[in-house]
Structure 1
Amino acid sequence: MTSGANFDTQSQAEKQGGAPPPGPPPAAGDAGNSFLSNMLSGLDPMDAESVKQFNADVQKIKDLAGAGPANGGFAIEPESGQKYIDAIGRYLDGAWPNLSWGIDSLKQHPALGDGNYATAVAKFDAGVMDDGGPKSLIPNLHSLSDGLLALKEAIGVAMASYNKEDEESSLVFKAVDAG
């Protein structure tokens, strides 16, 4: 019996400074969930490039959904697709209206005082919200909302392409090259 055994947990690529090997593929029937989770995991609504990339990925999804499984695209089983649509709908129909209603107050300069520093901070805070720069929250939230609406439409198209006899098409999602 040996104690204190050391096991090598690094791949050869990692030892040479490379990336670790990819994780296991998603379980059967879970490809769509993994795909959408991965797409949303890197999304930062405070970063215009992140939101722009999300919207570009959504456009690719719309294109693939429109092509359908027979033409290199994909389809989604209606019950699963409806769950995605419901989740997106909870944001677009529930959270977003409440959030957008209060956004106008974010455009106003906060009342921090009359001193030079307070005036500069108030101007900066208002700018971060809506100056159109890459870190402006309000335009990014509007763009994100547009992207989610487009994703909801794409899922609807993919659901309409679903053929129950072709069960395999519900399990296969083509990789979207984000690069």
Structure 2
Amino acid sequence: LQRSASLFLVKAFFSAIIAVYFIFSTHSYPFQPIQFTLINTFTIGIPSFILALEPNKERMKGKFIVNIVKKSLPGMLTMVLNIVLLMPICSFMRFSPEQISTIAVILTGFTGLINLLRVCLPFNLLRAALFYSMAGGFVASMVCFSEFFSLIPLTLPMLMV
């Protein structure tokens, strides 16, 4: 339960902090709603459902809320810093809103996958299959359904960011 709860907490804190940041920022919000569907499906939704069903005979140590906050903090801070640092860099490089949006989705998605990896470790058969299928599904969806998710092809300057 702690594994899946920390995934949801990362999303909640990230969304709240980013929303407040963009209220006071001069930059435009980089995400479109459909793009969160892609990120949330493969980094939170499916994984947390499967992890919650996994049998767990370990006794909980410490305080539940404190434990999940500690586990979710690094992933959430990394996601927030990615976007906060991305905006001035992309502005300086004069990227279009579509380019910024695509980079933001990739950064947030891959950070979410790294967070999922941390939650899945140590691997057992189920958690290994879960992580690799979610990573593969995320990449395949970005490539195969890029137009649906409002993603554009990467250019060399975009790759440098």
Q: TM-score, normalised by structure 1?
A: 0.29
Q: TM-score, normalised by structure 2?
A: 0.31
Larger-gyration structure (1/2): 1
Indicate the structure with greater helix content.
Answer: 2
